[in-house]
Amino acid sequence: MKPLKLMLLSAAAGLVLNACSSEAPATTQENSAATTESASAGTDKRVLTIGSDMTFPPYEYLDEQGNPGGVDVEIMAKVAEINGEITPKWEDTRWANLIPGLKGDKFDVLYSSMYITKDRLAQIDMIPYYKTDISLLVRGDSDMAPQGADDLCGQKVGAMKGTEFVNQLGKISAKCVEQNQGAIEIREYETSPQTSQALLSRAVDIQYDDAAVMKAAEMKLGDRVKITSTQELYPIVGGIGVKKGDTETYQIISDGIEQMKQSGDLEKLLSVYGLTVPTQADIDQIMN
């Protein structure tokens, strides 16, 4: 497998996803991706079909050859290596199809940089493995330098359609109105790359997205964009989803993640993009 930085720089998918989205009606066509790992000839490994919206670098994306890449792909490959009896098969689909696909047995696992929320825990089981926050991205030539939530009042802000980002912006906007600072004009786009294109084309002035995704965008686009946020917005824990009652799959992934924590491999992979391993207090707060 290629080193993470090389894989990111070769990604043609552009920027994003989200992983972090709220569920919305399916509106885009599903696109099946090639599997990252193949069982060796003569072996009889269990194939784990993994549903993912692979438009969200550095978490998960398709490279120029259509192969899955990103932090999450590397972590899952390591989990498979630790277990020794599974082979990941990645399936690219749009965000709205993920939880319904898992419930309908189309996928064994959801691995799409998915934020853990109470609503999701009511539908699926989730294994926490990373902590992230929001970053604010503006054009490189912009005079704007929004540092936190208050700086979004009265501005045109782009976010991915149907995501938790939109819900967060709605809450921030409501506070803006209460403080007589002007509502946020929230503009929604199907993917994070499309949101970034809207920023570059001046349809919006700020992009509101996952911190690691915005770091990847900044690396890819160079001086065309810049991250200006310095304040904490919505720190949150993300996880890997499995169907309720599927204790076998849950244990395989949970054991692998725990071993990666103990070895330091998980922290090493996450830290490249400013992500951290959640503390037990972080996990207890979101899971209980």
Q: How many C-beta atoms surround the C-beta of residue 144 within 10 A?
A: 12
Q: How do the pLDDT tens digits run along the chain, 288 residues long?
A: 444 433 434 443 444 334 444 444 343 344 444 444 444 444 689 999 999 999 888 999 999 999 999 999 999 999 999 999 999 999 999 888 999 999 999 999 999 989 998 999 999 999 999 999 999 999 999 999 999 999 999 999 999 887 889 999 999 999 999 999 999 999 999 889 999 999 999 999 999 999 999 998 999 999 999 999 999 999 999 999 999 999 999 999 999 999 999 999 999 999 987 899 999 999 999 998
Closest CA to 232 of 207, 211, 215, 216: 211
What does the block give as tokens for 12?
Answer: 């043609």
Residue-wise pLDDT for 129-174, tens only, equals: 999 999 999 999 999 999 999 999 999 999 988 788 999 999 999 9
Q: Which residues, including other chains, have CB under 8 Å from residue 275's CB and lie 6 or more apart?
A: 71, 130, 131, 132, 211, 212
Determine whether 110 is exposed, middle or buried from the number of CB atoms within 10 Å of its CB (0-12, 13-18, 19+): buried
Residue 207: how many CB atoms within 10 A of its CB? 30
The pLDDT assigned to 43 comes to 63
pLDDT of residue 38: 44
Amino acid identity for residue 173 in this structure: S
pLDDT for the residue numbered 122? 96
Helix, strand or coil, per DSSP, at residue 69: strand
Full-model pTM: 0.77
